[in-house]
Amino acid sequence: MTAQEVAFVAVALVGTVGALRVVTSRNVVHAALYLVVALAMVAGVYVLLAAEFLAWVQVLIYVGAIVVLLLFSLMLTKAPIGRETLDNQQRGLAAVVGAGVLAGLAFLAQDAFGGVRIALRPVRTAQVGASIFRDFVMPFEVVSVLLLAALVGAIVLARKDEVPSPPPERRVPLFGRREGGAPPEAPVPTAVGGRGAPAPSDQGSAPSGGGEAR
């Protein structure tokens, strides 16, 4: 075993424990924290595979953003604690399927790539960047649009539906109201002060949330 392999095994063992605890822990918050361990160990493997940029992305996005997001939603949904409420009745079946998947994958990996070794060559971030922007510009743009769509979608899904509020009134529409509003054929206004002006009481009744539209 090379030194890299020793390091790899150590990292992978910690990661395995973390991953197993994520799916078996009885406390949701602990599960999330174990997820941090597992993801960090994956980042460690990236480092061992000489993909440093990816490792940092992994740490930033997964550990920094996604896990925090998960913790937030745990907080917001007041998830209960305990095996009975966290796991369902088909645990045994699930374990069998999981074990089957593991066995299948492990067998395939050993069967197909038994003696193959990875020669580690450092990859510079500049190369990754060049690859993205030279060969994968189109997917990159598509992914950006996807992220935008997800952003909008998440906001639409998660925001509270407000009670329909009366149409907002401008605070001082005295002069603005009429601009472009009066048709040319309108008779000479007889109630200039009255038509455009809102009742004074309207000024305070702007909807609470959407006061100043951006």
Residues 87-116 that bind other proteins (CB under 8 A): 87-88, 90-91, 93-95, 97-102, 104-106, 108-110, 113-116
The Cα–Cα gap between 120 and 50 comes to: 7
In the complex, minimum distance from the CB of residue 31 to other proteins, in angstroms, rounded to a whole number: 6
Using the rule CB under 8 A, is 27 a contact of other proteins? Answer: no
Sole residue written with tokens 């593991």: 102
In the complex, minimum distance from the CB of residue 214 to other proteins, in angstroms, rounded to a whole number: 6
Rounded to whole angstroms, what are the CA distances from 87 to 23, 48, 91? 9, 35, 7
In the complex, minimum distance from the CB of residue 85 to other proteins, in angstroms, rounded to a whole number: 7
Using alpha carbons, select from 149, 157, 131, 107 the residue that is nearest to residue 51.
131
| C-beta of residue 74 within 8 angstroms of C-beta of residue 32 | yes
In the complex, minimum distance from the CB of residue 196 to other proteins, in angstroms, rounded to a whole number: 6
In the complex, minimum distance from the CB of residue 166 to other proteins, in angstroms, rounded to a whole number: 11
38-67 residues in contact with other proteins (CB under 8 A) are: 38-39, 42, 45-46, 48-51, 53-54, 57-58, 61-62, 65-66
Q: Is 121 left (phi over 0), alpha (psi -120 to 50) or beta?
A: beta
Using alpha carbons, select from 63, 67, 20 the residue that is nearest to residue 42.
63
Residue from 77, 163, 166, 204 touching other proteins (CB under 8 A): that is 77
In the complex, minimum distance from the CB of residue 70 to other proteins, in angstroms, rounded to a whole number: 6
> What is the end-to-end Cα distance of the chain in Å, rounded?
61
What secondary structure letter does DSSP report for 162? Answer: P
Using only the alpha carbons of the chain, give its radius of gyration.
30
The Cα–Cα gap between 35 and 19 comes to: 6
Residue from 10, 132, 162, 205 touching other proteins (CB under 8 A): that is 132
CB nearer to other proteins: give 88 or 201.
88
Residue from 37, 56, 86, 202 touching other proteins (CB under 8 A): that is 86
134-193 residues in contact with other proteins (CB under 8 A) are: 135-137, 139-140, 143, 146-147, 149-151, 153-155, 157-158, 160, 167-182, 184, 186, 188-193
The Cα–Cα gap between 159 and 138 comes to: 32
Residue from 37, 56, 128, 202 touching other proteins (CB under 8 A): that is 128
